[in-house]
Amino acid sequence: MIIGKRNHRFSDLQHIDFSRVFGWNMTGSLQGKSILVTAAAAGIGKAIAQEAANEGAKVTAADINTTELEKIACDDIKTIGLDVTDQSAINRVINTSEPFDCIANVAGYVHHGNLLNCDFESWKSSFAINVDSMFLILRVAVPKMIQNGGGSIVNISSVVSSIKGLPDRFAYGSSKAAILGLTKSVACDFLSQGIRCNAVCPGTVDSPSWRKRCEELGKSVGSYEQAREYFELRQPMKRLGTAEEVAGLSIYLLSERSAFITGQFFNIDGGIMV
The CATH number of the domain holding residue 253 is 3.40.50.720
CA 165/CA 155 separation, integer angstroms = 19
Strand pairing category for 102-105 and 77-81: unpaired
Torsion on CA atoms 38, 42, 47, 52, rounded to nearest 10: 40
3-state helix/strand/coil string of 37-89: ECCCCCHHHHHHHHHHHHCCCEEEEEECCHHHHHHHCECCEEEEECCCCCHHH
Whether the pLDDT of residue 199 is over 80: the answer is: yes
Whether residue 70 is contained in a domain is answered as yes
Whether the pLDDT of residue 9 is over 70: the answer is: no
User: Which pTM does this prediction carry?
Assistant: 0.88
Whether residue 16 is contained in a domain is answered as no
Whether residue 247 is contained in a domain is answered as yes
Q: Nearest CA to 155 among 141, 171, 169, 167?
A: 141
Whether residue 25 is contained in a domain is answered as no
Whether the pLDDT of residue 8 is over 50: the answer is: no
138-177 per-position pLDDT tens digit: 999 999 999 999 999 999 999 999 999 999 999 999 999 9
Whether 62 contacts 82, CB under 8 Å: yes
Enclosing domain of residue 80: 30-203+241-268
Average pLDDT for residues 199-222, to the nearest whole number? 90
Helices (H), the chain: 18-21, 43-54, 66-69, 87-95, 120-127, 133-147, 170-190, 208-221, 224-234, 243-254
Set 109, 172, 230, 252: catalytic member:
172
Task: Return mean pLDDT, the chain.
Answer: 91
Whether residue 273 is contained in a domain is answered as no
Number of domains in the chain: 1
Average pLDDT for residues 52-63, to the nearest whole number? 98
Average pLDDT for residues 200-225, to the nearest whole number? 90
Strand pairing category for 195-202 and 151-156: parallel
Whether residue 217 is contained in a domain is answered as no
Is 172 an annotated catalytic residue? Answer: yes
Q: Using a pLDDT cut of 70, give the percent of the chain over it.
A: 91
Whether residue 223 is contained in a domain is answered as no
Whether residue 7 is contained in a domain is answered as no
Q: What is the pLDDT of residue 25?
A: 52
